[in-house]
Amino acid sequence: MNSAAVWKELEARARMANPRRITQLFDDDPARGPAFSVAALDMLFDYAKTNIDRETRAVLLDLARSSGVVRQREKLFSGAPVNSTEGRAVMHWALRLPKDAVLQVDGVDIVRGVQATLTRMDRFATAVRSGTFKGQGGKISDVVNIGIGGSDLGPAMAVPALAPYHDGPRTHFVSNVDGAHIADTLRGLDPTTTLVIVASKTFTTLETMTNARTAKAWMAAAVAAPAAQFVALSSATEKAAEFGIPAERVFGFADWVGGRYSLWGPIGLSLMLAIGPTNFHRFLHGGAAMDAHFRSAELLDNMPVMLALVGIWHRQICGYPTRAVLPYSQRLARLPAYLQQLEMESNGKSVTMAGTELELPSGPVVWGEPGTNCQHSFFQLIHQGTDVVPCEFMVAARGHEPDLAAHHTLLLANCLAQSEALMKGRSYDTARALMVDKGFAGAALEQQTGHRIFAGNRPSTTLMFPQLTPEMLGQIIALYEHRVFVEGVILGINSFDQWGVELGKELAVALAPVIRGETPADDLDGSTRNLVAYLRQTDGKNT
């Protein structure tokens, strides 16, 4: 079957699946649990609680084949310019290649370059952590990473995720151009023992450069040589030099590392400072292990491929517009935000590789919060709202708090209970019996029963892993990166550009002088002109 025929077949299968109960699939197929799961690298990805049957899965695998997933995967790992709109290779995975790997692209020894930068990062992090590298007031006590998007979300997610391994300086993240962010962060910090990292691939991003200048002024007020406590992480090394950061503290990376894929290299410096080079390398090994799995496993046994196919089934075939990511892990609280950029900046596009309009829905809205907190906020809607929200649960088999094992048991029980409840629901008969037990009768019984029915049949997947170690975090992040890639290939879009963020940035540059009152508001649309008028009346004019 060609790709168009496969899509048609899948649509037909979705119509067939629509009235079917997921529980029925378990009744029909006693082996469904293990058969609809992928075990790899100590992780278990369970997708049995979805309405995918064996035939549908076979067609989804056909879709992956006919869309060229295997061919594109080879292209990705060959260093070919798969980011065609920017004419770039996509090689963030090379940042986690083992030292002895061999990778030459266009005559350049990629591994050597990556390892050279990594060694510089290791040395610098060791110097800071040991106190050999000092601030003017002594050993560095605090690190402030200034960056946004991919230059923030990766380390801002990973540092709390790996809190049990955090034995370096305190780490803070400033991203928002809202002055409140930097003000609240710097308040209470000692500039003489603070290291400021300016993380920006382009070194031009408005938010980051504004915050970097503010941090420099803050440092200059207390320290004779403020630039001595600044570090730059960037592809634009000359711009970092113009900002006054000396070359020995500029950590560069190539343009084949996309912003939202950049945690594995210099952008991960704040993470390395927090957990140390050894643990950072463990994180890289985890990512590399997932790369090896993705490159070699058969499609059916391939975790990123199956995760992607389940995603395609729910979004493009069944039409569910959003997907919730629910880590049952307080330390992964920032993972949903990280995945929002990774997935939505990559696959939130309505144009194909060829520049034509995408005839399918783009990637879904991704959102979420850690469990069990989410159960007390939006789970009402997930269980009883009118929209189906496929849920992606994830949880570690054990925590890092052996003395609090009872907490972890409850965490696990809640995670499992939610996916079960979503699938099974509660029927009219069961709900009615419960209300009878509570003493309701007549019209009140019917009314109370109605509120307690759960339609069920709501799909979810669960990713389980032994413990949230640096290796495991590396595996999880690489798993999601490859999932995004596979979904992008199937949709026929370029997952590696982000033209959709440009327009708003351009308009903001033009609006700043209007808000300052330097240029007239006359050419603005009526709504924006009205909003500007309000700002002027309320003295919201900034200079």
Per CB under 6 A, 83 contacts ligand F6P: no
| 139 has catalytic annotation | no
Q: Is 151 in the site for ligand F6P (CB under 6 A)?
A: yes
Min dist. Cβ of residue 114 to ligand F6P (A): 18
d(CA 239, CA 289): 35
345 is catalytic: yes
DSSP one-letter code for 389: -
Please say if 359 is a catalytic residue.
Answer: no
Give the 3-state secondary structure of residue 462. strand
Is 294 in contact with 334 (CB distance < 8 Å)? no
| Stretch in the footprint of ligand F6P (CB under 6 A) among 201-209, 223-231, 408-416, 443-451 | 201-209
Q: Which two tokens mark 223?
A: 């320290």
Angstrom distances, CA of residue 525 to CA of 88, 507, 510, 532? 37, 12, 13, 11
- Cβ-Cβ contacts under 8 Å for 22 (sequence gap 6 or more): 49, 50, 51, 423, 457, 459
Site stretch for ligand F6P (CB under 6 A), options 48-56, 161-169, 195-203, 313-321: 195-203
CB 82 to ligand F6P: min, Å: 17
Q: 95 to 114, contacts with ligand F6P by CB under 6 A?
A: none
Residue in 175, 194, 208, 457 binding ligand F6P, rule: CB under 6 A: 208
Q: Quick check: 237 binds ligand F6P (CB under 6 A)?
A: no
Interatomic CA distance for residues 191 and 101, integer angstroms: 41
Using only C-alpha atoms, the chain has a radius of gyration, in whole angstroms, of 25
Interface pick for ligand F6P out of 501, 507, 508, 533 (rule CB under 6 A) = 501
Applying CB under 6 A, does 259 fall inside the site for ligand F6P? yes
Which one, 115 or 202, has the nearer CB to ligand F6P? 202
Q: Is the Cβ of residue 178 or residue 429 nearer to ligand F6P in the bound state?
A: 178
Q: Which stretch binds ligand F6P (CB under 6 A): 103-111, 132-140, 197-205, 324-332?
A: 197-205
Residue 171's identity, in one-letter code, is T
Q: Which of residues 334-353 bind ligand F6P (CB under 6 A)?
A: 345
Q: Is 200 in the site for ligand F6P (CB under 6 A)?
A: yes
Asked if 474 is part of the footprint of ligand F6P (rule: CB under 6 A), the reply reads no
Number of H helices, E strands in the chain: 21, 15
Q: Tell the smallest beta-carbon distance from residue 263 to ligand F6P (Å).
A: 11
Task: Single out the segment in contact with ligand F6P by CB under 6 A; choices: 146-154, 166-174, 290-298, 348-356.
Answer: 146-154
Q: Which strands form 391-396's sheet, in the order they lie side by side?
A: 37-40, 43-46, 460-465, 391-396, 322-328, 365-367
Using CA atoms, how far residue 470 sits from 31, 280, 282, 283, 307, in Å, is 33, 7, 6, 4, 22
Which of residues 460 and 498 has its CB atom nearest to ligand F6P in the complex?
Answer: 498
Shortest distance in whole angstroms from residue 361 CB to ligand F6P: 22
CA distance 370 to 464: 15
Q: Please tell me whether the peptide bond between 214 and the residue prior to it is cis, using omega within 30 degrees of 0.
A: no
- Tokens matching residue 521: 């508001």
* Contact between 498 and ligand F6P per CB under 6 A: yes
Q: Where in the sequence numbering do the catalytic residues fall?
A: 345, 376, 505
Residues that bind ligand F6P (CB under 6 A): 148-151, 200-202, 205, 208, 259-260, 345, 498, 501
